[in-house]
Chains A and B, each alone.
Chain A
């Protein structure tokens, strides 16, 4: 079997496709007939106005009047009606106002240039308004996805907080009885896992909804690694973690929280796939504007058939350690991509797996002046 996809993945995909809660605006909704009527009436009104004022101001400024109309409808209407206004205005202006009248021929070079410019500007306007509208739709749907995620996150985390707080409170009550202590420890472990799964699910949804934008700020790589190791401490019990990093690494511009989360996932993955007591190495290198963070373990490595798939959502290789969700590495992949980087995985010659994230970063190497206190 080439990896299993759980039922869960199917139901999550359904949810995403149907988008039951999506706002009514979409990119390809049909243009109401009303908009075409407005376009035609608008063009007619502008033409009547032009006929009335032409004896006073001449035919050339009328082009500007028509352009004004294109801009006005561009703000309110869809692409189709806007283009209709642009084209019909051009035709009417040429036929009715540019000599010789009632004929597509344009006599003077000046008029010809005006006409061509008008047509180009009108078409560009139509195009720009459509783009603007599309951007607005995307923004609205991003806002919506964000709100939905926030409320789902609240609904999942609130009851979990209550359970966690209850267990913590009870822990004090049960005191030092060793048998109950084991029970308490197992409960805590379970809760911690549940918490991680919920975090991973929410992060995956954020990635799929494309509402994740890294907020870049200066950070210290050593610091980032240290924080990730501390955060995964419980999950790494029984493993030895060694950090191999140059002491003179520059500070980099990245989203520290996202990279930390990715590194945590890589560490937990390494711990789950290698024997207790073995060594996990975190390696950091920065050269040529690219930061590489890799995690190496001493497990039995990744089967060759699984290697190309391990970063897919819900992919669980046949040899995968029990208890995983198939989300951890997919999130690492997503977060790394969000930074414009890429992940890679391979088996080490000495045994075990190595998974690396490589991201392009802005670096700053700067030794503060040694002013002694």
Chain B
């Protein structure tokens, strides 16, 4: 990495304390990233479950932007809010919690490079643990009032004191596809303590009910303890608000072979 070029870019962009630049993605840090943070992945996926949780956390905890992420692999889209202009892919912070969220789905071609470089950033910044929440499409979801939560972890000792893993069902044998699959795989490979929560949800409809179930399961994690009643109360409004993001995410999910999640792996050892 060319340090002088980096300095010039930082001076030009203003307010950025550090740019962690890898092959494809730039992580523009707006303030120093403390060690030992809990990282929550809320990238758009099945039922937008993780994204709804992430947005709820950002709003409920009044989180501030920590990292803005940019890449040539992302479409040239900017978000406008209160005369501010920023990248759609951001990490927000409150105390020791860092939440990754996005206003756009990650294009399928960018999923693997982004996942690799995000994991590299997470390891470099010595994050304490990773929690990734997603939906698991289930055709029986319309008849279900309390969606089931399944989990996968490479470090039960890290999470069992705060998450009642015995009360959840382990994800025993399944295919995962898309951004969650790539990120979990990279976190496992990098040996970062990781918990993946997958909630029974709609495939193609935003699912605030499934998001509330995920947050209820994480309620004892001090950083993630928020009131979920608002998610249920304003669920119908949310389903409308997330309609466009859901439609865009559906396109990317189709390209990421999301239907594999309905298949069973053939390797039995």
Are A and B subunits of one complex? Answer: no
Partner-A contacts on B (CB < 8 A): none
Partner-B contacts on A (CB < 8 A): none
